[in-house]
Amino acid sequence: MNLVPIFKDLVLVGGGHTHALVLRKWAMNPLPGVRITLISPQALTPYSGMLPGLIAGHYSFEQTHIDLVKLSLWANIRFIQDSVTAIDAASNTLELKNRPATEFDVVSIDIGSTPNQSIEGSAEYTTPVKPISEFYQRWNQIQKHAQQQKIRSLAVVGGGAGSVEVIMAIAFKLKQFNTSIQYHLITAADDILPGYNRTVIKRVKQQLKKYHIEIHSSTRVARLGQNTIYCQNADSIVADEIIWCTQAAGSTWLQQSQIECDDAGFMKVRQTLQSLSYEHIFAAGDIANMVANPRPKAGVYAVRQADTLFHNLRAVLLDKSLLEYRPQDGFLSLLALGEKRATGSKSLFSFSGDWVWRWKSSIDNKFMHQFHQLPVLPMASATMINPALIADAEKTEQHDPLKRCTGCGAKVSASVLQQVLNDVLGIGYYQPQDAVRISNNAEIIYQSVDALNACIDDPWLFGRIAVNHALSDLYAMNLKPESAQLLITLPYAGQSIQKRQLKALLQGISLQLETLQCRFVGGHTSEASELSVGLVVNGILQDKPLFNKQGLNPGDKLVISKPLGTGVILAAAMQDKCDGVIFNQAIHSMLQANDQAARVLSKLNVKACTDVTGFGLLGHLHELCLASACSASLNLNAIPCLPGAEALARKNIKSSLYAQNLKTFAAMQWPDAITQQSRFNLLFDPQTSGGLLAGIPAKTYIELDKSFHQQFYTIGEVLAFDDSLVRIQIQDT
């Protein structure tokens, strides 16, 4: 429970090295009253220094990537997986590709760079090295093609450190497939590795020769075609695969903003890492152009900017003095040579060998270890809000949650509410009344109510999940959702933050209601310690059979539409024990409404159905069995589970409602061979926005086609009740 009101929004765009370090530092020393949001199109962000080792097969994918979802859950920050498409610096707004815009008070940008693909054909016929996540997918395809002897020639365009490391790593890896490939390294410069000392260049050239990599220096690419590189003043080069690793470029959306950028699209920043144009906008890593002290694009600068950025983000929020970042003049440079050897230099000194590889690997692994082994965070000690974070107009208000009004005094202000409703629904859509007419139809109306405390720190996604969870009761009866009223409880916060929170929440709710053709007709808002959403939903009868809990018959096949495991995954996330991929798959499941499942079941003479939510699969199946005076047999191995859920259950992670759900079945005796399996625990796992559980008549089930079995899992059968046996039998065959 967070009793600290939020007054400022700090948004980090991009999961680069600098931001990853800043998040780790912030988690260890948070600033009460500030909410951080991380926006990144990838949930797993690569460490560029280990890319050659990943290509060569020296490291696994997991070793070379930072799990941003897991990091965010650990650091207690909000993570949004999306791409920024525009920034409005004047209104403090970021436009996103797949969801509504988000607002900020302070923003920092660390989105890296991409190879410049301005040359004709480069975007269509080459694979850029960055973003690394997209390159790695293509690299996996290249390996398959090489194994199938489909690649005879491969070219890398670019002559810098990244280019030579990439082509040597590729040559080392593909050599293992006994392939005969001609490699080309193409650079417009007079020689490779400009800026490096002659000894390092000589050693790299020796390694390139060992891998039969031909160097094309002073060769400028004019244009590209299918499998062909057309060069200026030189013959064209044929290559089945072309890797683009040229001079980097910045982001188009930054160039199109009011923020001052250089010709290549990099944001111009001061010594404090602030934009030249706006003091509340920062940049770090490759995307930043340090105007006073220009430096090459190198990860060492990004890493060392973290301390300065961490201090200055806090300072600008608190209106304190900022520090200047002073980049070093030179740095240790280590280049991987494909195999487990490396060469490097520092000033006039150079070195090479196996030991240099081990040195480089040790440095890289040490950096990644701090994200793979996240420490237990200390309990928050400081909860007092710095007055500098509070708007002048709100400084006289009572901000201690324990002393704020309850009862009607806990309502969200009318101005905030009306403005958000106008923003989300349009001016005039919602006219306040003391009561509303919930239906314009004469049909019989069924009503249900449900409520959820926020299970994720993303109000837009949470709003959509809350709608799915509440409407599931209507789909479980084969009703058509008609209208919904909301009961929203917002956490204590400053008015601007409260408005943003409510707006994002209502945007998610209204989107999901509109998608499911259910009208929003009103509601109530209040304040409390945490975000929660309740919905009163109304459904009407269709010209289709009504599902109920009394309709099971012996011989019916039991089917379920969604895997189990959201409860244990959400519990693991709260305990910092859940990987980001697993967490995201649970979110994806909760975002799937039950309308399609209900539509399929309504065509199959189904009489008994329910949704699987808080009482778990066994709890809800038990309700069906009692109502229908029957028993059931389940096949434990046939019950679907979300990826990672069973492994988490094996670690004895349980949702808070698990014990109560299990207690309901204390009198039932199942064999130890069943109860000792981790999957057994998931039968009692409470599900948020779970699937539909139904009985399919035996005759109907025989005739079902493949498409049905792609949507539903068959998990058991209905039996006649026998009081000498347990109500629900469980087998693992």
Using one digit for the tens of pLDDT, what is the confidence trace for 329-372? 777 889 999 999 999 988 778 999 999 999 999 999 999 999 99
pLDDT, tens digit, 9 for 90 and up, residues 575-623: 999 999 999 999 999 999 999 999 999 999 899 999 999 999 999 999 9
Q: Judge whether 343 lies within some domain.
A: no
Lowest mean pLDDT among 26-40, 159-173, 383-397, 527-541: 383-397
Closest Cα partner for 139 from 27, 40, 61, 37?
61
CA 230 to chain centre: 40
- Residues with Cβ within 8 Å of residue 344, at least 6 apart in sequence: 200, 332, 333, 334, 335, 350, 351, 352, 356, 360
Q: 3-class SS at 706? A: helix
Rounded Cα–Cα distance for residues 422 and 430 (Å): 8
Q: 3-class SS at 173? A: helix
Same domain, yes or no, for 49 and 131? no
Same domain, yes or no, for 598 and 692? yes
Same domain, yes or no, for 699 and 710? yes
With beta carbons less than 8 A apart as the criterion, state whether 52 and 336 touch: yes
Same domain, yes or no, for 144 and 92? no
Same domain, yes or no, for 719 and 577? yes
**Token pair 């806990």 in the structure block, residue:** 410
DSSP 597: H
Q: Judge whether 21 lies within some domain.
A: yes
Average pLDDT taken over every residue of the chain? 90
Asked which of 221, 247, 273 is the last residue of a domain, the reply is 247
Closest Cα partner for 357 from 376, 373, 336, 371?
336
What CATH number is attached to the domain comprising 422? 3.30.1330.10
Helices (H), 373-442: 414-425
Q: 3-class SS at 514? A: helix
* 427: number of Cβ within 10 Å: 9
With beta carbons less than 8 A apart as the criterion, state whether 670 and 730 touch: yes
Q: Judge whether 301 lies within some domain.
A: yes
CA 382 to chain centre: 29
Q: Judge whether 395 lies within some domain.
A: no
- Work out whether the CA dihedral 507, 512, 513, 517 comes out positive or negative: positive
The DSSP bridge pattern shows strands 349-353 and 339-346 to be: antiparallel
Q: Kindly report whether the peptide bond that precedes residue 5 is cis, defined as omega within 30 degrees of 0.
A: no
pLDDT, tens digit, 9 for 90 and up, residues 217-244: 999 999 999 999 999 987 899 999 999 9
Same domain, yes or no, for 592 and 689? yes
Q: What's the whole-number mean pLDDT along residues 30-35? A: 94
Same domain, yes or no, for 263 and 285? yes
Asked which of 247, 272, 288 is the last residue of a domain, the reply is 247
Same domain, yes or no, for 60 and 142? no
Same domain, yes or no, for 532 and 607? no
Q: Judge whether 336 lies within some domain.
A: no
pLDDT, tens digit, 9 for 90 and up, residues 678-709: 999 999 999 999 999 999 999 999 999 999 99
Read off the pLDDT band of 164 (50, 70, 90). Answer: very high
Q: Judge whether 382 lies within some domain.
A: no
Q: Judge whether 401 lies within some domain.
A: no
Q: Judge whether 396 lies within some domain.
A: no
**Token pair 């890896």 in the structure block, residue:** 173
Q: 3-class SS at 560? A: strand
Closest Cα partner for 75 from 278, 449, 508, 376?
376
Same domain, yes or no, for 533 and 613? no
What CATH number is attached to the domain comprising 56? 3.50.50.60
Q: What's the domain count of the chain?
A: 4
- Amino acid in the structure at residue 211: Y
Same domain, yes or no, for 506 and 448? yes
Structural domain that includes position 581? 557-731
Q: At what angle do helices 306-318 and 17-28 cross, to 10 degrees?
A: 60
CA angle 473–682–676, rounded 5-degree value: 155
Asked which of 514, 540, 566 is the last residue of a domain, the reply is 540
Same domain, yes or no, for 239 and 264? no
